[in-house]
Each structure stands twice: as structure tokens, then as C-alpha cells.
Amino acid sequence: MLDPAPGPSTEYAHRCPLPWPVDPEAPEGHVCECGRKWVYQPAHWDPLLTLDELRMRQEAGAFLRSIIPSFHAPDPAAAPLEPRETAVIVHLPPA
């Protein structure tokens, strides 16, 4: 469940310094002082997410896809969407 709250996201409030990678072209892992796990992908550090954090991100993405309309024509070659995953924009006449 999403819980909107004022203030910065705790995901980006990380303050521990991340080390320089040993080999910038190879992935590597790091555990910082606060216990957060990170994985270095070439060119940037990504937090290593728990299964619960991944589930919450997927639920948030599905929620946003259901409320943000799509303005492009559907691709006929793509797999059909579930009925609840489609959005229709309806013009409402002024009252």
C-alpha cells in the first residue's frame, strides 16, 4: 500500500559514502555502515532491494499505469491488455 507523506523519500536519504569501484566495467557489491546493500552496475551504484521493496515498487508502477492515460494508439502486434489495464479518455462537455 502506498503511504504518501510530506518530505523527502527515505530511499534517497542515504548518507554513507560509497567507495570508488575496483573495476568500473565490472559489477561489484558493497555493504555500507548503515547496513544498506548496494550493487555497482557500470557507471552507477544501485541499492540492492529486498523482495518487499521490489513488490512495493511493482505495485506502485501498476497503480500509476492504471491512472495515467495513454495517448498513443495501441500496437496491434502487442499482447492484448487485461480489461482493467486499459484507459479511455472521454471528453466531458462543459456544464
Provide the number of structural domains found in the chain: 1
Mean pLDDT computed over 70-90: 63
6 falls within a domain: no
Quick: pLDDT tens for 37-48.
888 877 788 888
pLDDT at 5: 55
30 falls within a domain: yes
Per-residue DSSP letters for 25-77? TS-EEEE-TTS-EEEEETTEEEE---HHHHHHHHHHHHHHHHHS---SPPPTT
Quick: pLDDT tens for 19-77.
888 888 888 888 888 888 888 877 788 888 888 888 888 888 777 777 776 666 666 66
Are the beta carbons of 18 and 46 closer than 8 angstroms? no
Domain that holds residue 61: 14-69
To the question of pTM greater than 0.75 for the whole model, the response is: no
21 falls within a domain: yes
How deeply is 10 buried, as exposed, middle or buried, from its count of CB atoms within 10 A (0-12, 13-18, 19+)?
A: exposed
